Amino acid sequence: MTLVESKHDFEMTEKSMENDDDIKDAIFNNVPITFIEAFVLKNPGDFSMSKSLDGAYYLSIVPGNNKMKKETSRAIHLRIDHSENEYAIQGMLFARSQTLEQLVYHLKNDFTDILGGVLDENISMNRLLGLSSTNVHNICKTGKRIKDKKIQSQDFFHLVYTGEMKFADGKIKKALFEELHNPTISDLKVFYENLVEGKALAARNLPIRLPIGAILNPPTLIYEHQENQVGCSLKDFLKNFDTHLDLAQRIKLCSAAVRILSELHRFDIYHGASKVDNFYVLGYKNEKTMNYELVFNGASGLLYEGKSDNTVTMVDYDSNAPEVAFTRKLSKESGVFTLGRLFEQILESEILKSYSEPPQEEPRVLNDMRRLIGRATRANPSQRPTMNGIVMLIRELLMALPKSTSPINVVHYDQFQRK
């Protein structure tokens, strides 16, 4: 089950709009308009009301086909301004009322023809979609449907637990829930980006951990969960298993990280500033060892070559590539730089250990990894290797790894040995 719409006959509530109270009950609070486009609106005549993360109200409408236009129009989002005495759509004298509900009610019943003329679109407002319309995507208003909760971890910012929930296909399944506590605006933007971009990537077989649903209040992402499966962020994994990870397993982690980013590059997708927090480790219990697989943790921050806005407003001078401080642009080359920084974090224990040993006793593969890190973090982006080039270099190192004595086994997937 993914965020794509279920084929199961799932009931969707349509508001009758017999009075303006129906509009008040149907408003989506603190959601971006990208969420409305992805999970609420679908057919011509659908419309909804939402309040964005910056506090602005939007009336969103799917226009009908216009014979005068070759391209089918996407949803139209009309910002509603609020003053002390009225709600109004800027530039439309007829679109003014004392309350938000009255404004939408009168637009639907009295002014759709005028609204269509102003927008030069075939406008109809036939179906008001409210909070229950997202149930078909396994996105619920609250977590009341969750049963048998078992807390996995908890801190001031997050609550992770397992539980059972009835999904849109009518089946009751066990899932993993990651709940945000006291989220900031930035946290909510990442939350909705993971949902919206996750839906777009769900049909592709990429090494990305994507949600299968969500709860809007409190903000909670829902993931698939299997028995005997464990998981945590790469940052926590390196901290908790520092003494168990030997050089061989750490290099396999480096190999897994670059393989993931190289696979994304193959689809013209890149991050440009990936860090240890952008990766997640899934563990599966075996008879004698624990097998761990590295995946990219969500779709937030991923950029599409030539399509996404790669501009950044804040730069981390310790981890971002130096050119980003001047250009304010992320690129595939800046992603290679941050990958080098990630390698340093993964190999930190082994690198520190090598300082206390004679140079001739340093393992060759570690020495080769240190040279690779130096090449990846060169100041000149044109002198850095490509992501695929790093994959080829590490592939050779994997064949020369020392024998591992770790009880942990990092499962490495070789993208060049596909069936």
pTM: 0.86
Question: What CATH number has the domain spanning 41-126?
Answer: 3.30.505.10
What is the CATH code of the structural domain delimited by 135-227? 3.30.200.20
Q: What is the pLDDT of residue 69?
A: 60
How many Å apart are CA 319 and CA 363, to the nearest integer? 26
Question: Are 108 and 26 spatial neighbours (Cβ–Cβ below 8 Å)?
Answer: no
Q: What is the band of 12 on the pLDDT scale with cuts at 50, 70, 90? A: very low
For residue range 109-138, what is the model confidence (pLDDT) as tens digits?
A: 889 899 999 998 889 999 999 999 999 999
CATH 3.30.505.10 boundaries in the chain: 41-126
Tell me the per-residue pLDDT of 51-63, one tens digit each, with 9 for 90 and over: 999 999 999 999 9
**Side-chain half-sphere CA neighbours of 214 within 13 A:** 26
Q: Which residues pair with 50 in a beta bridge?
A: 28, 58
For residues 283 and 231, the answer to whether their CB atoms sit within 8 Å is: yes
pLDDT at position 15 over 50: no
Q: Is the pLDDT of residue 5 over 70?
A: no
Average pLDDT, the chain: 87
Confidence of residue 72 (pLDDT cuts 50, 70, 90): low
Q: How far is CA 127 from CA 27, 47, 57, 60, in A?
A: 14, 6, 19, 12
Other CB atoms within 10 A of residue 208 CB: 22
Structure tokens at 339: 């990958």
Q: CATH 3.30.200.20 in the chain: give the residue spans.
A: 135-227
pLDDT digits (tens, 9 = 90+) for 292-329: 999 999 999 999 988 888 888 777 877 889 999 888 99
pLDDT digits (tens, 9 = 90+) for 170-209: 999 999 999 999 999 999 999 999 999 999 898 888 889 9
Q: Chain-centre distance of CA 302, in angstroms?
A: 8
pLDDT digits (tens, 9 = 90+) for 338-372: 999 999 999 998 888 877 766 667 788 999 999 99
Q: Is the pLDDT of residue 7 over 60?
A: no
Tell me which CATH homologous superfamily contains domain 230-410: Transferase(Phosphotransferase) domain 1 (1.10.510.10)
CATH code 1.10.510.10 region(s) in the chain: 230-410
| Contact between 347 and 365 (Cβ < 8 Å) | no
